[in-house]
Structure formats: structure tokens, C-alpha cells
Amino acid sequence: MSLKRKEQRAGIAIAFIILGPLSAHPVASLLNGNGNQRTSNSASPGAMLERLTLLVTIFQGCILLRQARIADKQRLLMKGQLKATETAADAALAALARPWIFIEDSFCNKGIWLGETSIGLTAQFRLANYGNAPAQVSYLRVALFPGPHHHNGMPEKFRTRSIIDFPDAACLERFLEVHARECSTDSGLKRSAFNKVIKQNESVLLKALGPPPLEPVVGAGLRLESAAEIYIIGRLYYSVPSQGLECMTFCLKSQNADGMEVFKAYPPFNERRKILRHAEKKNGEHVL
């Protein structure tokens, strides 16, 4: 027997317990000794009071039953709300159990690259995981390049082969295909695909390669590259437990003392987005 039926029957039993003693005397007083004739004083004030008391008692019993049903419905409603709250809490905890990747400690060797003729442009940065789950980074490519200052630009006559225009949002995908290169924790460049597990509260130092060493300066004056900014545009893919892949794009710009800061802190240059399909076939090859 369900709990609801038990409560209903209990309410009915309580009502009969209340109604029984109160209704026994009024009903008996309405009958004569042989059980089929009314007494002569059935319309007396006492009889009317007893009948009124009986009606009030029945009405009170109905109210008790109604209140019992309302209480039962409220209990079921609260039980459903509690279950929904527990489900939402479980989902929130599951969402928190994931990696959160950030770019830290980024800098480039712009000063050395401009002053030496035997050192290429390089940059270093850390991938730090501040989530509470490991991150399986399966793809990482970075474009490290000098480009015109984003405010003043640069006339064509002051351009060199190593200076590249910064892409606009519509050209970003094509720019990464052409200029981004694999980087790793080893030599900074490798042919095989990047594959690294970054544990929670762990960071990995990475090295990216840019243009090769510059030619010696002819005559007096500064190098044309001195008027350029140094930029990093990178993209990585990492797996989120039970949620599939996420894509992270980041963009940095050189600062004083060769440090770098976030540049264009909005999509598509700096963003995270979920990948609905892990891979699809294109021209016979699997691409992300």
C-alpha cells in the first residue's frame, strides 16, 4: 500500500473517531423507543443544536481530509524539487570536474634577435592547467611573427620578408594554416603531432620558433624590424572528460623587456569553444 493511500485512510479513520461519539447521541435522540417514530420534542432547541453540532463536526472532518490531501501533494512536490536540485548539483559538480588551460609566463627574444645575426626569433610560454582534471592536449600550433604596429601600421617601403600583416577576423583560419607551426617541449619544432597530458595544477614550458636570424645591417641606422611588434597567435585542442574536445585560440603581443600580454581579448583571437565533432574526413585526410 502506498504512503498516499495510508495517509488518506488514516485521515478517514480520524474523522470517524471524531464523528462517532458526537453523532451517536443526536441520532438516537431522533428516534423513539421502538425505532420507527420521532419523539414529540424533535423540533426542540436542544435537538436543533445537536443537529447543528453534527453538521459542524462533519464539516470539520471534511476540512481535515482536505488538509491531509494538500499536505500529501506538497510533500510530493517538495520531493520532486529536492530530486531536481540534487540532479542540478550533480551536473554542476560534473561540469567543474574539467581542465582549465591558461597561457602564462610568455616572452620573446626580440632584443637579442634584433641585435644578433646568428639567433632566430623565439618565444616561450607555459600551458598551465588550473582545472581539477587532466588535459589531454592533442594539437598545438603557434604563429610567431613580427608585424606592423596595430595603431600606426607600416608603409610598404619599410617592409621586409619577415614582417607579416596581422590578420583580421575573417582571415584568421587561413593565416593559421599558412603560418602556424608545431611546437613542443623539446626543440620547439617537431614533425609529429603534439600530444601532451597536462595534469591538474601543472604547467608545461613550451618554445615556439619564428623567423630565422636577420641579415647584417648595411650602413647606419636601426633595423626595419625594430619598428614592428612581435605577435603570437596559437591554437590548441584538448579533451574534457565526458564532454569531448575544446578548442582554445590565444593571441599575445610583445611588451617592454620582451614580455608579452594578451592582445585582442575577444573572439576569434582569444576564445574557447566546444568541438561538436572530433574529426571529419576531408580530401582523404582527417582534420580537426
How confident is the model over 250-261, as pLDDT tens digits? 999 997 778 999
Q: Give the contacts of 91 (CB within 8 A, at least 6 positions apart).
A: none
Instruction: Check the CA dihedral 28-34-37-39 and report its sign.
Output: negative
pLDDT value, residue 8: 56
What pairing do the DSSP bridges indicate for beta strands 280-282 and 229-240? unpaired
pLDDT value, residue 57: 83
Summarize pLDDT for 189-239 with one digit per residue, the tens.
454 567 889 999 999 999 999 999 998 877 666 788 888 899 999 999 998
User: How do the residues of the chain divide into helix, strand and coil, expressed in percent and rounded to 5?
Assistant: 35, 30, 35
Summarize pLDDT for 151-198 with one digit per residue, the tens.
556 666 667 788 888 999 999 999 999 999 987 665 444 545 678 899
Q: Describe the strand order of the beta sheet including 202-209 as a list of residue ranges.
A: 101-108, 122-129, 202-209
DSSP 100: -
Angle at 213 between CA 182 and CA 173, to 5 degrees: 35
pLDDT value, residue 286: 41
Contact 230, 245 (CB under 8 A): no
Dmax (CA) for the chain in angstroms is 139
Mean pLDDT of 133-146: 93
Cβ-based burial of 145 (10 A; exposed 0-12, middle 13-18, buried ≥19): buried
d(CA 47, CA 110): 109
d(CA 68, CA 13): 12
Summarize pLDDT for 12-40 with one digit per residue, the tens.
555 555 545 544 444 444 444 454 444 44
